[in-house]
Amino acid sequence: MIEFQGSHAAEWIREHWSPSFAVRASSGHFELSAPSASRAELKQNSIRFGLFSASGLSASNDSHSIAGEAVVLCRTGSDCYELHCHGGLAAANIIVQCLKDAGFEQDNRRGFGDSPEESAIDYQAIEDLQRSVSIETASLLMDQSRGALSKAVRNLMVLINKGDTNGAVDSVRELIRWAELGTHLVEPWKIVLAGPPNSGKSSLLNAILGYQRAIVHEQAGTTRDLLTEHTSVGGWPVVIVDSAGVRETEDRIEGAGIAASFVAVGSANCLLLLVSPELGWQAEHNAILSGYRGDRVIVVETKSDLGSVKGLSVNYPSIATSVAEPQSIERLLHAVERALVPHIPPSGTAIPFRREHVEAFQAVQEYLSDGKTAESLEVLKDILSGASSQEIPY
């Protein structure tokens, strides 16, 4: 992250940066809008993706025709801005040099820990922000890079020092509430397509991705290994797994693929259980459900253009789909998004975004319930200093 400020900051942006689109926070939701005519018209706390060019931009240039570095720009004050780039140190150094050439002076006095308001959490968020794949995840990580989580930790320490154990417990519980979402801002959610052979798994994978990733054939047992593909659903990073069709078989290779399917099902964050109208509900569906450890199950009635599944009665949400009807695929993806992220946290919410944060807060919760306030404070200090990745005994 590069922060720069001064009366010429807006002029530098007009010269070297062009927006792709804008995002505004409104009632906990994020709205996209087209670029405005002026590149400097960026409201405070707004976030924009765009392109940086060290050689400068013509006012008549179309941002889509500019060859440059993709960056995220945020205005944090009247003349203060942040640039987040994804090209590593090389890209950052080019931007810094460009700012120097424009007359900005580099401040080398500040470093990690020089300010009491800085913490390892803020820098961890900046690191993860560089790996963010969407505006949704970037917005939440940017909140943490500005101190949302570190402030919550300090406030929690104040409550403990005051002896307000009940308030501290409530604060920890609220932080842990967002743990699953936070740990999937960079690490993708795992969605597994499962069902008997010829239930339409590979066709559904291809329809979701929009291209031919899996081989589709009428012969049962075509998919004998796990096919995985990274994408995003509603802006949330996911990895979709097309598993081998589950059935009894004496084929050693196919059997290995089926065993791998059960392993994938057991570790899935969301299970899409496919049922076709030709086969209906089979014993294999029950076997798959018995191997799933979570509670996000969506029954997908495939090939709905050929007819409906007769006598289907399940206690899970059911959606009829057809690869020939793109709107049905959109409905399915919307259901998956709601299952993974039923609630989007309001802007500025403190979110533990690394697993060591979650483990530390769980330890604090245990210590507080046992009346061990000193131990809980030590864990919170470790979170701020970056030592929370160590194993915590509790």
pLDDT tens per residue, range 84-105 = 776 566 777 888 888 888 888 8
CATH topology of domain 2-108: Alpha-Beta Plaits (3.30.70)
Per-residue confidence (pLDDT) for residue 349, from 0 to 100: 97
Q: How far is Cα 369 from Cα 373, in angstroms, rounded to an integer?
A: 9
How far is CA 191 from its chain centroid? 14
How far is CA 105 from its chain centroid? 35
Instruction: Report the DSSP beta bridge partners of residue 136.
Output: none
Lowest mean pLDDT among 114-123, 195-204, 377-386: 114-123
| 189-336 has CATH 3.40.50.300 classification | yes
Q: Tell me, what DSSP letter sits at residue 219?
A: S
* Range with the largest mean pLDDT of 102-116, 266-280, 351-365: 351-365
**Pairing outcome for strands 189-194 and 236-242:** parallel
Beta carbons of 166 and 365 less than 8 angstroms apart: no
Q: How far is Cα 388 from Cα 382, in angstroms, rounded to an integer?
A: 5
User: pTM for this structure?
Assistant: 0.69
User: Which positions ≥6 away from 108 have C-beta within 8 Å?
Assistant: none
* CATH 3.30.70 segments of the chain: 2-108
Rounded to 5°, angle at Cα 377 from 373 and 380: 140
Per-residue confidence (pLDDT) for residue 312, from 0 to 100: 83
Statement: residue 260 has pLDDT above 80: no
Query: Mean pLDDT across the stretch 171-186?
Result: 97
Per-residue confidence (pLDDT) for residue 53, from 0 to 100: 82
Statement: residue 60 has pLDDT above 70: no
* Range with the largest mean pLDDT of 27-41, 203-217, 357-371: 357-371
When pLDDT is cut at 50, 70 and 90, the band that residue 61 belongs to is: very low
Side by side, which strands form the sheet with 236-242? 227-233, 236-242, 189-194, 270-275, 297-301, 318-320
Query: Mean pLDDT across the stretch 318-346?
Result: 95
Query: Mean pLDDT across the stretch 298-309?
Result: 90
* Range with the largest mean pLDDT of 59-73, 196-210, 246-260, 370-384: 370-384
Average pLDDT, the chain: 80
CB atoms within 10 A of CB 221: 17
End-to-end CA distance of the chain: 36
When pLDDT is cut at 50, 70 and 90, the band that residue 259 belongs to is: low
Instruction: Report the DSSP beta bridge partners of residue 242.
Output: 193, 227
Lowest mean pLDDT among 187-201, 207-221, 321-335: 207-221
* CATH 3.40.50.300 segments of the chain: 189-336
Per-residue confidence (pLDDT) for residue 308, from 0 to 100: 85
**Ordered DSSP codes for 340-394:** H-SSPPPTT-----SHHHHHHHHHHHHHHHTT-HHHHHHHHHHHHHT-TTS----
Please give the single-letter amino acid code of residue 175.
Answer: L
Query: Mean pLDDT across the stretch 374-381?
Result: 97
Q: How far is Cα 178 from Cα 155, in angstroms, rounded to an integer?
A: 17
Beta carbons of 219 and 165 less than 8 angstroms apart: no
CB atoms within 10 A of CB 195: 27
Query: Mean pLDDT across the stretch 287-306?
Result: 91
Residues above pLDDT 70, as percent of the chain: 77
Q: Which two tokens stand for residue 262?
A: 């059960």
- 243 phi, psi to nearest 5 deg: -95, 165
Residues above pLDDT 90, as percent of the chain: 41
Statement: residue 113 has pLDDT above 60: no
Q: How far is Cα 187 from Cα 272, in angstroms, rounded to an integer?
A: 20
